[in-house]
C-alpha cells in the first residue's frame, strides 16, 4: 500500500547488496512512496552484488563509494545533488562488517587491525558521511538520516563479537552528530535497532539460525522483517516524524523489553527433560 509519504523527497541509500538487503527493500518502498534517490555501495559490492537490477527497477543511478573514504563520499554527495537536482532530504546508512567475524576470530582473540577496519566501516563511516553532508550543507531542513543498528549495543550476544562494540559506537555517533545537525540545520538523526534478519551480513554471524529462531520465539509480535524495517524507515523519512531525533528506536517485535516468553520457557524445559 502506498501513501505518497515521500513525494518530492530526494535521498541517498547506502548498502543495497542483493534483494535480501534491508537497504534493497527500503529503496523499493521509498520508490513506492514517491521518493527519488541515488544508490551507493562499495566498489567490490557493485561487482559481487546485484545492485544494477535495483537501479533499473527504481530508475536510479548508482555511484560507487567506499564509505570509509572521504573523497568517495564527497564525490557521492556532489554527484547526488547534481543528479537529484538539489539538496538531500533523506539518507539511509545500512552498512556493517566485522573482519574478526569474517575470519572467525573469537571476541577474546581479536586482531586489532581487523577491529579497526570493522569500526571504521560499521560506525565511523556514519560520522564521515554526516560530516561530508554537514560541511557541504547538503541536507534540506527537516531532512532525516537513519542508520541501522542491533541490540547487541546494549545487551550481550556473545557471537555478535566486536560488531556489538561497533553498534554501540554507531548509536553514540547518531546522538552526538544529531545534536549539531538538529541545532544547525533542523535535520534529525536516528538509529533503528532491527530484529535479526536473514541477509548476507546477518548470516555472517555464527549460529545465526538459532539466534533468529530464539528472537522470534521471544518477541510477542515475532521478528520484524526487512520489509517491515523498510516501512519503519519510510515513516522516519516522512514529515510525520519531524521531532524524532537522537533516538535509538527498537524495531524488534517487542524483543528488547522481554525477560522470557512462554514458548522459550517451554522449549528450554523440554530440552532439560530430554537430557
Residues at the site binding ligand NAD, with contacts judged by CB under 6 A: 14-15, 17, 21-23, 41-42, 45, 66-68, 94-97, 121, 148-150, 194, 196-197, 199-202
| Closest distance of CB 133 from ligand NAD, Å | 15
Beta-bridged to residue 63, according to DSSP, are 40
Structural contact between residues 99 and 166, judged by C-beta atoms closer than 8 angstroms: no
Question: Integer distance in angstroms from the first to the last C-alpha of the chain?
Answer: 49
Beta-bridged to residue 188, according to DSSP, are 144
| CA-wise closest residue to 62 among 70, 75, 86 | 75
Nearer to ligand NAD, 78 or 186 (CB): 78
| Closest distance of CB 23 from ligand NAD, Å | 6
| Closest distance of CB 251 from ligand NAD, Å | 9
CA 40 to chain centroid: 13
Q: How far apart are CA 33 and CA 26, in angstroms?
A: 10
| Closest distance of CB 258 from ligand NAD, Å | 17
Nearer to ligand NAD, 182 or 204 (CB): 204
Nearer to ligand NAD, 173 or 185 (CB): 173
Nearer to ligand NAD, 65 or 185 (CB): 65
The sign of the torsion formed by the CA atoms of 126, 129, 133, 134 equals positive
Residue 146 CB coordination number (10 Å): 24
- Compute the CA torsion angle 190, 194, 199, 201 (nearest 10 deg): 60
Q: Which three cell numbers stand for residue 162?
A: 566486536
| Closest distance of CB 82 from ligand NAD, Å | 21
Nearer to ligand NAD, 41 or 238 (CB): 41
| Closest distance of CB 138 from ligand NAD, Å | 18
Nearer to ligand NAD, 190 or 199 (CB): 199
Amino acid at each position: 500500500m502506498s501513501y505518497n509519504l515521500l513525494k518530492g523527497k530526494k535521498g541517498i541509500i547506502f548498502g543495497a547488496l542483493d534483494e535480501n538487503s534491508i537497504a534493497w527493500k527500503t529503496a523499493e518502498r521509498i520508490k513506492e512512496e514517491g521518493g527519488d534517490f541515488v544508490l551507493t555501495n562499495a566498489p567490490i559490492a557493485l561487482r559481487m552484488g546485484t545492485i544494477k537490477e535495483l537501479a533499473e527497477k527504481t530508475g536510479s543511478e548508482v555511484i560507487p563509494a567506499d564509505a570509509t573514504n572521504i573523497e568517495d563520499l564527497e564525490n557521492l554527495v556532489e554527484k547526488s545533488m547534481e543528479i537529484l537536482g538539489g539538496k538531500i532530504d533523506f539518507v539511509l546508512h545500512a552498512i556493517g562488517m566485522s573482519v574478526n567475524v569474517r575470519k572467525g576470530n573469537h571476541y577474546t582473540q581479536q586482531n586489532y587491525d581487523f577491529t579497526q577496519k570493522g569500526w571504521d566501516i560499521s560506525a565511523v563511516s556514519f560520522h564521515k558521511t554526516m560530516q561530508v553532508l554537514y560541511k557541504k550543507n547538503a541536507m534540506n531542513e527537516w531532512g532525516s538520516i537513519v542508520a541501522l543498528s542491533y541490540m547487541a549495543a546494549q545487551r550481550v550476544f556473545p557471537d555478535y563479537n566486536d560488531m556489538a562494540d561497533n553498534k554501540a559506537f554507531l548509536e553514540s555517533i547518531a546522538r552526538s552528530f544529531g545534536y549539531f545537525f538538529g541545532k544547525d540545520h533542523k535535520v534529525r538523526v536516528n538509529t533503528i535497532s532491527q530484529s535479526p534478519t536473514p541477509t548476507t551480513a546477518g548470516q555472517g554471524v555464527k549460529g545465526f539460525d538459532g539466534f533468529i529462531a530464539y528472537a522470534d520465539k521471544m518477541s510477542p509480535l515475532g521478528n520484524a522483517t526487512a520489509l517491515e524495517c523498510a516501512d519503519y524507515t519510510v515513516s522516519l523519512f516522512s514529515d510525520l516524524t519531524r521531532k524524532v531525533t537522537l533516538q535509538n528506536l527498537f524495531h524488534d517485535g517487542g524483543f528488547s523489553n522481554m525477560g522470557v516468553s512462554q514458548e522459550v520457557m517451554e522449549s528450554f524445559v523440554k530440552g532439560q527433560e530430554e537430557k
